[in-house]
Structure 1
Amino acid sequence: MKLVRGRAATRAADRAATAAMLDRTAENRQPALRVWTPHQQVTFGRRDANEDGYEAARAAARKRGFTPTERSVGGRAVAYTGTTLAFAHARPIDDLRQGLGDRYDDATTTVQQALAGLGVDATAGEPPEAFCPGSYSLQADGKLVGIAQRVRSGAALVSGIVIVDDCTAIGDVLDPVYDTLGVPFDPHSVGSVASAGGPAEPGAVARALENAFVGDETRTVLSVGEFVDVED
C-alpha cells in the first residue's frame, strides 16, 4: 500500500494531493492511505452552500481564525484546528454500484480497532445534535470520528475526521457556524481521543490509524510533495 505522509504547504495543495492519490489508485489499482493534520479551517459541505446563512457562517468561521473551505464529500461543516486528524483511504473498485456499505463498515471497524489499541472504547453512532450528522460515526463521551465516502470510476475514497485533543475549540467555532446555518448543534456533543482516555498527541493517533489500515500489507512511504505541488 502507498502511504502518503505530511501536510502540503497550502490548503489547495492539500486537497490536490488527496485528489491525486485517488486518481492514481484508479489508474494503477494500488490502494493508498493518507493520515495527516490539515490546516486550521472550517470545511463546509454541499448542503451548507445552499443555505441562506452560508455567507454568514463563512464569516463566523473567519472571525474566529478558521479559513472557510468547501469539500465535495460529506454533509455538514467540520472544523480542523491544525492538530485534528484527517484520513483518506483510496481503494480500487470494479463497479460503482457495489461495495459502498461494505467499505463504510470496514473503515468504521478499522478506526474503532485503532482507537481501542490506544485505550479508547469508541462505539458506533453519535450523540444528538452532533457536528456533521451521519450514519457512520464513532463516539466516546461525544462524537470524535465522522466518516464519508466518494466514489469515481475505478476507485473509492473513504475519508474521515478524528478529533484528537481539541474538542472545546471545535465546539466553540462550530457553534456560531451552525447557528447561522440554522442547523441544530450542541457544542458539548464534541468528543476527542484525549478526553476518552487516549493520547493527546496527533502523531501517536496517526500511526495507530496507519497500522490498522495497512495491516500486514507491504507499505511504500511517500511524502505529500511527491504527489502534487500547487500554489494556493
Structure 2
Amino acid sequence: MRVVRGRGEDAEADRAVTRLLIEHAGTAGEPAVRVWRPHRQVAFGPRDTNSEGYEAAVAAARERECPVCERRVGGRPVAYTGDTIAFARIEPVADDERQGIDERYAAVRVDVRDALREIGVDAERGEPENAFCPGSYSLQAAGGKVCGIAQRVTGDAALVAGIVVVDGHEEIGSVLDPVYDALDVPFDPDTVGSIARAGGEVDPVAIIMRIEDALVGDHLGSVEWVDDLPTVEWAGE
C-alpha cells in the first residue's frame, strides 16, 4: 500500500495527485491512502454544474473569498477552510465494478468513526436534515454533521473519499448557505458540525495521523510512505 502525505501547491495539483493514485491502483493492483488538508475552496459535484443556479452559486462562493473547483466524486457542494481534512482510500477492483460498493463504504465509515472516537468525538452514522452534501454514509456528532463520504469506481480502481470538519463550522455554514440557496437545495447552516463543536481534540496533524492509521489498517507492515508528492511520471512506474 502507498500512503501519500502533504498537499499540492493548489487545488488542481491536489486533484492531480488523487488521479495518479487511482491510475496506479488500477494498473499496479496496489491500494493507496491519502489524508491531507486541501486548500481553501468550495468543491462542486456533477449535479451542481448542471443546475440552473450554478453560475450564481460560483459567484456566491467567490464573494466569500473561496476559489471553486469541480469534483468527479460526491454530491452537493463542500467547503474547505484550509484546516478541513480530506481523506481517500483507493483500492483495485474486480472485473464487476458493481461488487463491493456497500462494503467499501461501510469499511471506510467504520474506520473514520473509530479514529474520531480516539480523539474524543462520539460519532455515529447519520446526519441532520438539510445537511451539506447529504449522503447515506455520513457521520454526525454533537452539534451536527462532521464527516461526509462518497465513492467513485473508474476502470480497475475504486475511490472512497470524504471530509472531516475540524473547526470553523460556522464559517463553512456561512459560505455554503448562499451557495445552496443559489442551487435551490435545502440547507441549514446550523447542521454543520465539527470536531471542535463536539468537544474533541482540535489538532489537525494529530487527527490526520489517526485517520491515516485507521485507513491503512492491516496494511501497516507493507506500507510505502511517500512524503514528496508524486509527479506525473510517478504513475508510469
The reply to whether TM is greater than 0.5 is: yes
Tell me, yes or no, if the aligned pair for 1:38 and 1:83 is still in contact at 8 Å.
yes
SS of alignment partner, residue 89 of structure 2: strand
Structure 1: which amino acid aligns with 2:102?
G
3-state SS of paired residue (1:171): helix
Task: Show the counterpart of 2:24.
Answer: 24
Deviation, 1:225, is 2.3
C-alpha offsets along residues 58-117 of structure 1, whole Å, 9 cap, x if unaligned? 000001010011001111000001110000101111120200000001011110011111
Q: Partners of 1:196 and 1:2 in 2: how far apart?
A: 32
Distance 1:147 1:57, change over 3 A: same
The equivalent residue for 2:128 is 127
Give deviations 1:204-225, integer Å, cap 9, x for gaps: 1100001111124222110352
Q: What's the offset of the Cα at 1:152? A: 1.5
Q: Does 1:14 align with 2:14?
A: yes
Identity among equivalent positions (%) equals 54
Q: Whole-Å Cα distance in 1 between the matches of residues 231 and 22 of structure 2?
A: 11
Contact 2:139 2:146 in 1 (8 A): yes
Q: Please state whether the residue corresponding to 1:197 is helix, strand or coil.
A: coil
Matched with 1:179 is: 181
C-alpha change, 1:224 and 1:79, in structure 2 (3 Å) is farther
1:7/1:224 contact within 8 Å kept: no
Is the Cα contact below 8 Å between 2:5 and 2:229 reproduced in 1? no
**Partner AA of 2:31 in structure 1:** P
Q: Would you identify which runs of 4 or more consecutive aligned residues in structure 1 move more than 6 Å?
A: none
Which residue does 1:96 correspond to in 2? Answer: 97
Listed as ranges, the gaps of 5+ residues in structure 2 are none
Could you tell me which amino acid in structure 2 is paired with residue 46 of structure 1? P
Residue aligning to 2:162: 160
> Partner amino acid for 2:115?
A
- Per-residue CA deviation, residues 17-69 of structure 1 (Å, 9 max, x unaligned), is 00000100111111100000111000001111121111010000001010011
* Alpha-carbon shift at residue 199 of structure 1 (Å): 1.6
The number of equivalent residue pairs is 229
Partner residue, 1:223: 227
The answer as to whether partners of 1:45 and 1:71 remain within 8 angstroms in 2 is yes
Letter in 2 for 1:181: L
> In structure 2, what is the equivalent of residue 57 of structure 1?
57
Aligned partner of residue 226 in structure 1, secondary structure = coil
CA distance in 1: counterparts of 2:52 and 2:113, whole angstroms: 36
**How far apart are 1:143 and its partner, in Å?**
0.4
* Matched letter for residue 127 of structure 1: P
CA distance in structure 2 between the aligned counterparts of 1:228 and 1:3, rounded to whole angstroms: 17
Contact 1:8 1:224 in 2 (8 A): no
> 1:227: Cα distance to partner?
3.9
Residue 148 (structure 1) aligned with residue 132 (structure 2): no
Q: Look up the SS of the partner of 1:17 in the other structure.
A: helix
CA shift at 1:228, angstroms? Answer: 3.9
- Which residue in the other structure is 2:171 paired with? 169
**AA aligned opposite 1:57:** A
* Residues 224 and 157 of structure 1: CA distance in aligned 2, closer, same or farther (over 3 Å): farther
**SS of residue in 2 equivalent to 1:225:** coil
Amino acid at match of 1:81: T
- Residue 211 of structure 2 aligns with an amino acid whose one-letter code is L
Distance in 1 between residues matched to 2:83 and 2:117, nearest whole Å = 20
State how far apart, in whole Å, the 2-side matches of 1:155 and 1:46 are. 20
Q: What residue is the counterpart of 1:109 in the other structure?
A: 110
Could you say what secondary structure the match of 2:229 adopts?
helix
**Whole-angstrom distance in 2 between the partners of 1:22 and 1:224:** 17
In structure 1, the gaps of 5 or more residues are none
| Distance in structure 2 (CA, Å) of the matches to 1:153 and 1:118 | 36
TM-score by length of 2: 0.94
- TM-score, reference length from structure 1: 0.96
Q: Distance in 2 between matches of 1:18 and 1:223?
A: 14
